[in-house]
């Protein structure tokens, strides 16, 4: 009796995904949502209690920029779910020319880990005191706020961005280990 190998269904993976990886991948878009929502008022020049001396760009530039940045952040976070779902192993059939073909593991792992490293470099900083932070790109001055309430709200909304890169790297490595 000959057993035919059938590719996994769209939602299924060839090998089981660890529960922690599945939860982490699905939590990522929710972790980034507060920072995306925090950004939106800046599009219409509401500065969310920030004090700075630079001018705001014109509406015709700020609105599409902020909306695109927020939407793109969420789309990239949702694409990370592909590292724990079947559509990250077999290209969905509705995609022209590639539909139904297997995804080579490195085609997912390399962008995930490289992107995670870039995100870690962009969003990780060490407070030095006096409103200054040490980043990969050097020391930068922090933004002042009108009140402590605005500063706490900003901290709550923006802090999860620091987890984006490490989570993406961990999910990329877990994907690699599962697919090798």
pLDDT tens for 123-166 read 887 665 566 666 666 667 777 778 888 888 988 898 899 899 99
In angstroms, how far is CA 53 from the centroid of its own chain?
30
Q: Is residue 10 part of a domain?
A: no
Angle CA 57–61–63, to nearest 5: 100
Q: Is residue 79 part of a domain?
A: yes
Give the residue numbers spanning the domain of 147.
19-179
Q: Is residue 2 part of a domain?
A: no
Q: Is residue 8 part of a domain?
A: no
Counting Cα atoms < 13 Å in the Cβ hemisphere of 86 gives 14
- pLDDT, tens only, 60-119: 788 899 999 999 999 999 999 999 998 889 988 888 998 888 999 999 999 999 999 999
Predicted model pTM: 0.83
Q: Is residue 4 part of a domain?
A: no
Q: Is residue 6 part of a domain?
A: no
**Overall domain count for the chain:** 1
Would the pLDDT of 3 be above 60? no
Which residue in the block uniquely carries the two structure tokens 């923006």?
158
């Amino acid at each position: 009796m000959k057993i035919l190998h059938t590719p996994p269904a769209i939602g299924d993976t060839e090998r089981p995904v660890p529960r922690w990886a599945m939860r982490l991948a699905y939590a990522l878009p929710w972790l980034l949502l507060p920072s995306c929502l925090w950004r939106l008022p800046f599009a219409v020049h509401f500065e969310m209690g920030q004090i700075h001396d630079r001018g705001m760009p014109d509406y015709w530039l700020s609105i599409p920029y902020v909306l695109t940045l927020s939407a793109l952040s969420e789309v990239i976070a949702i694409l990370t779910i592909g590292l724990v779902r079947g559509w990250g192993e077999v290209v969905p059939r509705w995609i022209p020319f590639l539909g139904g073909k297997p995804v080579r593991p490195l085609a997912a792992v390399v962008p995930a880990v490289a992107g995670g490293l870039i995100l870690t470099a962009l969003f990780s900083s060490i407070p030095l005191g006096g409103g200054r932070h040490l980043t990969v790109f050097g020391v930068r001055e922090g933004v002042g706020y009108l009140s402590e309430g605005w500063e706490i709200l900003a901290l709550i909304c923006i802090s999860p961005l620091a987890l984006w890169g490490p989570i993406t790297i961990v999910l990329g490595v877990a994907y690699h280990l599962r697919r090798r």
